[in-house]
A and B are shown apart, each in its own frame.
Chain A
Amino acid sequence: MDTAIFFIQVLNSVQYGLLLFLVASGLTLIFGIMGIINLAHGSFYMIGAYLAFSLTGLIGDFWLALAAGVVVAVLIGLALEWLVIRFLYDRDHLYQVLLTYGLILIFEECRSLLWGDDVHGVPVPPALDFSIPLTENLSYQVFRVAMSAICLALAAGMYWLIQKTRLGMMIRAGSVNREMVQSLGINIGLLYRVVFALGVALAAFAGMLGSPVSSVFPGMGNQVLIVSFVVVVIGGIGSVKGALVAALAIGFADTFGKVLLPQIAGMVVYLLMAAILLWRPQGIFGKA
């Protein structure tokens, strides 16, 4: 592998890692802070992609569609939390798995009824639809660079929200001791509803942002669900910083695994997870 190709592969790794982070960050919020094992997370990603497809067609502008889609996703998140999720906080993980698995089936069926089973594409926003040549044959799409930048900005935004704001302080406190926060006069029900909606919105946003390059197809959510859980577990449950580091690590493992170890490319990510968990069973940034 010559140097130029090596650096392009590094770029590929970072770009894939950042997109993974975006999907997984919502999961780490819901799983880590609320303690809900949310198997339907992939479905929210899928809903986002289909929303981008419909709204872009309807509104005509990708970025406006993105904004509208986030609003829809937040509403879906609030409604779901109120309808079903809030009954799960005091229950065993098995109930959560059962219910959120049921949600996957419901969302898949709704998707089939509303949008059908065809594959759809979302056009890349025209302003970013050009490429920078890297070698004589290869170029890099500017939209992919923009995606990475947006992912980074969101990572920074989430860090600020959770570490520096009053809301973030309540979220962190709520994850440690629910009853104590409640007895201090904070409406924990409302707080959890907001966190859940935020998690749904993050997943849907990832689906929307990625839709021009990933295209939109049935079952797309299941593909990201498993790798999202891997990110959350490696990074340490509930740690946004951990999710970022883990997502980048997986980006590198996946990219270079495909290139250097093609025979076991499908396993590399899981081998990495096994190795990290042997070293730190609670994940890189998890609390023991």
Chain B
Amino acid sequence: MNDSKALASRRRFLKTAAGGAAAAAGVLHAPFIIAQPAKIKVGLMLPYTGTYAALGTAITNAFKLYIAEKGGKLAGRELEYVVLDDESDPAKGVDNASRIVNRDKVDVLVGTVHSGVQAGMVKVSRESGVLSIIPNAGFGAATGALCAPNIFRTSFSNWQTIHALGKVMMEKGHKTCAWITHKYAAGQEMFEGFKEGYEKVGGRIVKDLWLPFPNVEFQALLTEIAAAKPSATACFFAGGGAVKFVKDYDAAGLKKNIPLYGNGFLTDGTLQAQGASAQGILTTLHYADSLNVPKDREFRLNYAKAYKLQPDVYAVQGYDAAQLLDIGLKAVKGDMKNTKGMIKAMEGVTIDSPRGKWKMSKAHNPIQDSYLRQVVGEQNKFVGVAWKALEDPARGCKMG
């Protein structure tokens, strides 16, 4: 932080000095006398404490990794960061977003992870028109009913993560299934995405079970699954809930007769804690371990070198957020004020992502492959493509 202050005063000095120095322009090297353009202010509004802290950190790390790979500059302009911890607290979403946009006057807003906080940020983005990039939250309306020209997403919609799962389960011969998740907005969106895909191929959900969020006492509902005797179970859980659910499901003896399926959050970043209980579980997501993508190998190597950590799907999404910003800035030669020009360049762009190439949809959400992955050891191993170029239906979006 002190550095940036020192830099700012140096910049002021350079500006005043520039006039005088211009007189000597004839004898001095050109770069020395040109006053540097102001830095681009990037607002990082992400969770750095609480349950999602690890996700916020992964996104930030990968975003900065891309900038570092470009020599610390995008389109010839340096970046400075305004970092704000949103604590994944939906109650503070609108306040925090308007603080970073209206008071700190960021040029671009990057965030966030939690869908509830995202709802507040989308409101502020729509009102202020600030260029916004969502590096995780799958909140459907952000690129659906509430879509806007200045809002882009480099991650996924909730619908998109689980839509391909029904097809996969049908191919494995599961004509009936039970569904279980937490009763909150994301759970509801996942349920609709799954149901649509599963029923389209002739599957029947014989029982849908809902648990108050964030209750993790699953025993009663596991008994209900056993009583309903479906051919398989589909679910959406993440983080601590996912660990406990996978372990409880296995301990209740359900796993061998009624296989468990889910979207990738069920087994991402949780495998060490889940241990043997998770082995063999099939999930769908837009990223996997041991993907045969050269860009991925390069990304993983660089990330591991920079942070002594393996990257995950969240890091990939953060990396792509930086790539997208770069594309927009290049198109307008670093003129951040030309938002229209940036949006035009970012629309319909194809991003060469570690997850594989994906295209920006008309609603500003990735059109991407949904991969089928299987848990082997502590990896979500790539098995195949469950759905090629899956596009969110973007219901209610009037753009494009």
Chain B residue contacts of A286, Cβ below 8 A: none
Beta-carbon contacts of A203-231 to B below 8 Å, as 1s and 0s?
00000000001111111100100000000
A8-16, A84-92, A239-247, A273-281: which lies at the B interface?
Answer: A8-16
Chain B residue contacts of A215, Cβ below 8 A: 240, 243-244, 247, 273
Beta-carbon contacts of A231-273 to B below 8 Å, as 1s and 0s?
0000000000000000000000011101100100110000000
Q: In the complex, what distance in Å separates the CA atom of A136 from the CA atom of B252?
A: 11
Is there a chain A Cβ closer than 8 Å to B79's Cβ?
A: no
Chain A residue contacts of B248, Cβ below 8 A: 213
A120 touches B272 (CB 8 A): yes
Chain B residue contacts of A137, Cβ below 8 A: 225-226, 229, 253-254, 257-258
Chain A residue contacts of B227, Cβ below 8 A: 1-2, 5, 135
A138 touches B253 (CB 8 A): yes
Is there a chain A Cβ closer than 8 Å to B215's Cβ?
A: yes
Q: How far is the CB of A168 from chain B (nearest CB, A)?
A: 32
Is there a chain B Cβ closer than 8 Å to A35's Cβ?
A: no
Is there a chain A Cβ closer than 8 Å to B290's Cβ?
A: no
Most buried by B among A9, A15, A258, A265: A258
B226 touches A121 (CB 8 A): no
Number of interface residues of B (CB under 8 A): 44
Is there a chain B Cβ closer than 8 Å to A141's Cβ?
A: yes
Is there a chain B Cβ closer than 8 Å to A179's Cβ?
A: no
Q: A16-B219, A215-B240 are in contact. Are A133 and B51 (CB under 8 A)?
A: no
Which of A112, A139, A254, A259 meets B224, CB within 8 Å?
Answer: A259
Is there a chain A Cβ closer than 8 Å to B354's Cβ?
A: no
Q: A255-B220, A266-B183 are in contact. Are A133 and B253 (CB under 8 A)?
A: yes
Is there a chain A Cβ closer than 8 Å to B307's Cβ?
A: no
B54 touches A138 (CB 8 A): no
Q: How far is the CB of A267 from chain B (nearest CB, A)?
A: 8
Q: In the complex, what distance in Å separates the CA atom of A144 from the CA atom of B253?
A: 13
Q: A12-B223, A121-B273, A123-B275 are in contact. Are A217 and B210 (CB under 8 A)?
A: no
Given contacts A119-B242, A213-B244, could you give 16 more A-B pairs where the C-beta distance is less than 8 Å? A117-B54, A118-B272, A123-B275, A137-B258, A141-B252, A144-B251, A216-B273, A218-B50, A219-B50, A220-B240, A223-B214, A223-B215, A259-B220, A262-B209, A262-B210, A266-B213
> What are 9 A-B residue pairs whose CB atoms fall within 8 Å in the complex?
A5-B223, A112-B49, A139-B253, A143-B251, A213-B244, A258-B220, A265-B210, A265-B212, A266-B215
Which B residues lie at the A interface, using CB under 8 A?
A: 49-51, 53-54, 183, 209-217, 219-227, 229, 239-240, 242-244, 247-248, 251-254, 257-258, 269-270, 272-275
Which A residues lie at the B interface, using CB under 8 A?
A: 1-2, 5, 8-9, 12-13, 15-16, 112, 116-121, 123-124, 131, 133, 135-141, 143-144, 213-220, 223, 254-256, 258-259, 262, 265-266
